[in-house]
Amino acid sequence: MAPSLLELTDLHTHFATDRGELPAVDGIDLTIRSGEIVGIVGESGCGKSVTSLSIMRLLPEPLARYAGGSIRFKGEDLLRAKEKRMKQVRGNEISMIFQEPMTSLNPLLTIGEQIGETLRVHRPVGRKDAAAKAVEMLRKVGIPRAEGVAKAYPHQLSGGMRQRVMIAIALCCEPELLIADEPTTALDVTIQAQILDLMKTLNRETGTAIMMITHDLGVVAELCERVVVMYAGKIVEEGSVHDILTDPRHPYTQGLIRSIPRLDEERERLYSIPGQVPRPGAIAQGCRFAPRCEHAMPICGEQLPELIACARPAHRSRCWLNTAQEVAN
Amino acid sequence: MLNYAIRRLLMLVPVLLGMTVIVFMIIRAIPGDPAEVILGEKASPQSKEALRQELKLDEPLYVQYGDYLGKLLSGDLGKSIRSKEPIATEIGPYLAATLELTAFAMLFAIVVGVNAGIVSAWRQNSWFDYASMLIALVGVSMPIFWLGLMEQWIFALELKWLPSIGRANPRDPIDAVTGLYLIDTLVAGRFDQFGTVLKHLVLPGIALGTIPMAIIARMTRSSMLEVLRSDYIRTAKAKGLSQLGVIYKHALRNAFIPVLTVIGLQFGLLLGGAVLTETIFAWPGIGRYIFDAISARDYPVIQSGILIIAFLFVLINLLVDLLYAAVDPRISYK
């Protein structure tokens, strides 16, 4: 097994609001190994984006506060790292791509400049070499007529092309970890498949680990080896893609899977999990999913279950049902 | 781009034509008689009538206007009633004096205003933000004449750091070539005079530049705040760029377009609106030239002076429009 590249231990990220300090990420443990593709799944507001921005330390401090835990990257705790060190990490050792390719590029700079800039920040290369490398990166991410595109401005490209450019920017310094925050959500389905394909190929070729943040289990099935399901700032289930998709143990994961439209079933209405993700701070005690759960028991409202192994050691779930099953066995 | 510029310049013609009509009518609607102002109240009615005939003020308005327009189209701005000099030659030094003052004032306004706006946005809700926005608020509400007098009192009279009035030392006259003294003294290699001219510019420049400075600071701040929230700024940070790189390379250029509009408008306003500053600091500029002409009912001078200011105003705004395209590749003129 490859050594762990990134290790989040009991990460707490809080936000100062008018209603006091609220936990957006509430005690997350997560490990990503070199070269691995891990999916982070959950609805909007479950804390997956905050987790990724915490790793990059890009949240607006002091509005956001890292209230506890650690983020170990190759053994170094990024939460204790100085800003100067973080600048070396960002874009160089850990890169990030975002959901909105339409607005994530600077409209006033050419594509070539925006790729070359990253290189020039982190490597001792001249303007010319950076420009040449930018064209090379554009080719690598499958952009035709790369020389022409390098001289183009973002508004001259389509959404899919822009996301490829974002990937080129992210990968030009050969980072060890790529955080992709819903990179395909804003794209057409066919373009989505192309981008996922590209990410998979690049992962194989360069060995860059990918942390794939998404709400789409289809994307996870396509791309990832391991999945972490988040709900209201906590991990509720994690395991291999196969285990999670074929044998989900947490009612929330089961709900997510049931709400995927299927071609081989006739249904009047698509299933949807009733209710909404609770707002941070609205959770008093017990399991956070209990108010929306169809299996809720008295204990669910009183005590938060632990994340424990079920069926297989690597498949863990945070649900009283599992505990009950284990006792029964 | 060139086509666009030419088209815009052609569109200037009807604008300026409209200006001539309005100015021509308005100044003749002001009560008062040039002949009486020139000859004095005690002059005989006959001599006043003779002067009116000489100046063709007894003709119907449309004849007077046609006469004026005909000369204007052949490039003749007319002669001053008071000095009998051609306005085209007389107005030059005044215009140069005002251009130098406004350029200096705008330079002050842009450098201070833009940077204050940037820091305020970057450190939103910090003491610097509150302080600079308070100064900006006071700045826009401050009457220029009061600010000018206070400057003269503190920096000229009490501290004796800077001269209070004029453009240069009257005992050490400057060889005017362009009329822009900073350039003239530099070309002549007279660095001592250059320093003196610069000192004379400071107080009126600040008095004149304070309002635009405040407006630019507020505009830059709000525009920067909006840009700093955008996705591509997050991308720039995620690339590992330094704060300065994020601000100056990515944010400022994007935030600059609305600021550019304000700068163009303010520059144009200052050209004609420097009367108060020019009066307080005895600055021989075009504002005072026109103001004196109004008091003397010197119709040709008023007409030509306002026309020139209007022309410059439109020209500056054309320049701003062309600059948009230079800043933003999404804007192109065909």
DSSP string, A74-117: TTEETTSS-HHHHHHHBTTTEEEE-S-TTTSS-TTS-HHHHHHH
pLDDT of residue A2: 65
Q: Which of B235, B241, B242, B254 to mutate to test the interface with A (most CBs of A within 10 A)?
A: B235
CB contact under 8 A, B235 and A104: yes
The pLDDT of residue A140 is above 80: yes
CB atoms within 10 A of CB B16: 14
A138 close contact with B: CB closer than 8 A: no
Q: Identify the weakest region by mean pLDDT among A3-17, A219-233, A255-269.
A: A255-269
DSSP single-letter state for residue B159: S
Residues A37 and A153 in one domain: no
Tokens of B261: 């509009």
Instruction: Work out the minimum CA distance from B216 to partner chain A, whole angstroms.
Output: 22
Q: How confident is the model at residue A272 (pLDDT cuts 50, 70, 90)?
A: confident
Residues A165 and A294 in one domain: no
The pLDDT of residue A19 is above 90: no
Measured between beta carbons, which residues in chain B are less than 8 angstroms from residue A55? none
CB contact under 8 A, A121 and B329: no
Q: Which of A58, A88, A106 to mutate to test the interface with B (most CBs of B within 10 A)?
A: A106
Domain boundary, last residue among A150, A174, A198? A174
Mean pLDDT over the full length of chain A:
87
Mean pLDDT to the nearest integer, B18-47: 82
Residues A114 and A130 in one domain: yes
Percent of chain A at pLDDT exceeding 90: 36
Q: How far apart are CA A276 and CA A288, in angstroms?
A: 11
pLDDT of residue A33: 92
Measured CA to CA in angstroms, residue B314 lies from A87, A160, B19 at distances of: 46, 43, 12
A16 close contact with B: CB closer than 8 A: no
Q: Which residues contact B295 (CB under 8 A, 6 or more apart)?
A: B37
The beta-carbon neighbor of A121 closest among B231, B241, B250 is: B241
The pLDDT of residue A1 is above 60: no
Instruction: Work out the minimum CA distance from B237 to partner chain A, whole angstroms.
Output: 7
Percent of chain A at pLDDT exceeding 70: 95
pLDDT of residue A325: 66
Q: Are A97 and A187 in contact (CB under 8 A)?
A: no
Beta bridge partners of A226: A38, A240
- The predicted-structure confidence for B164-198, as pLDDT tens digits, reads as follows 888 877 777 777 778 888 888 888 888 888 888 88
Report, in angstroms and rounded to the nearest whole number, the Rg of chain A calculated over CA atoms: 21
pLDDT of residue B327: 85
- The predicted-structure confidence for B199-215, as pLDDT tens digits, reads as follows 889 999 999 999 999 99
Residues A182 and A34 in one domain: yes
Q: Which of A108, A123, A172, A173 to mutate to test the interface with B (most CBs of B within 10 A)?
A: A108
The pLDDT of residue B264 is above 70: yes
Helix residue spans in chain B (DSSP H)? 2-29, 34-39, 45-54, 61-73, 87-122, 127-141, 144-151, 181-188, 191-228, 231-238, 243-244, 252-273, 275-280, 286-295, 299-327
The pLDDT of residue A329 is above 60: no
The beta-carbon neighbor of A106 closest among B236, B238, B327 is: B236
Q: How confident is the model at residue A267 (pLDDT cuts 50, 70, 90)?
A: low
Identify which has the larger pLDDT, A259 or B278: B278
Residues A232 and A277 in one domain: yes
Mean pLDDT to the nearest integer, A255-266: 78
Mean pLDDT to the nearest integer, A12-18: 88
pLDDT of residue A328: 58
The pLDDT of residue A275 is above 90: no
Measured between beta carbons, which residues in chain B are less than 8 angstroms from residue A62? none
ipTM of model: 0.85
Residues A63 and A199 in one domain: yes
- The predicted-structure confidence for A45-75, as pLDDT tens digits, reads as follows 788 889 999 999 988 887 888 988 899 999 8
- The predicted-structure confidence for B110-139, as pLDDT tens digits, reads as follows 999 999 999 999 888 889 989 999 998 988
The pLDDT of residue A161 is above 60: yes
pLDDT of residue A154: 93
A130 close contact with B: CB closer than 8 A: no
Measured between beta carbons, which residues in chain B are less than 8 angstroms from residue A109? 250
Residues A129 and A248 in one domain: no
Residues A56 and A136 in one domain: no
Domain boundary, last residue among A138, A159, A174? A174
Residues A125 and A155 in one domain: yes
Mean pLDDT over the full length of chain B:
87
Looking at residue B39, its amino acid is L
Measured between beta carbons, which residues in chain B are less than 8 angstroms from residue A90? 237-240
The pLDDT of residue B252 is above 70: yes
Measured between beta carbons, which residues in chain A are less than 8 angstroms from residue B235? 98, 104-106, 166, 169
Interface of B with A (CB under 8 A): 230-232, 234-242, 245, 249-250, 253-254, 327-330
CATH number at residue A70: 3.40.50.300
pLDDT of residue A227: 93
CB pairs under 8 A between A and B: 66
pLDDT of residue A327: 57
Please give the domain boundaries of chain B with CATH numbers for all domains: 87-327 (1.10.3720.10)
Q: Per the structure, how many domains does chain A have?
A: 2
Look up the domain containing A124 and give its range: 101-174
pLDDT of residue A269: 74
Q: How confident is the model at residue A175 (pLDDT cuts 50, 70, 90)?
A: very high
Residues A80 and A120 in one domain: no
Residues A285 and A318 in one domain: yes
pTM, 2 dp: 0.81
Give which of A104, A107, A103 is closest to A95, Cα–Cα. A104
Residues A28 and A161 in one domain: no
Instruction: Work out the minimum CA distance from B269 to partner chain A, whole angstroms.
Output: 30
pLDDT of residue B119: 92
The pLDDT of residue A98 is above 80: yes
Helix, strand or coil, per DSSP, at residue B199: helix
Give which of A126, A159, A164, A118 is closest to A145, Cα–Cα. A164
Handedness of CA B268, B273, B275, B276 (dihedral sign): negative
Domain boundary, last residue among A135, A155, A174? A174
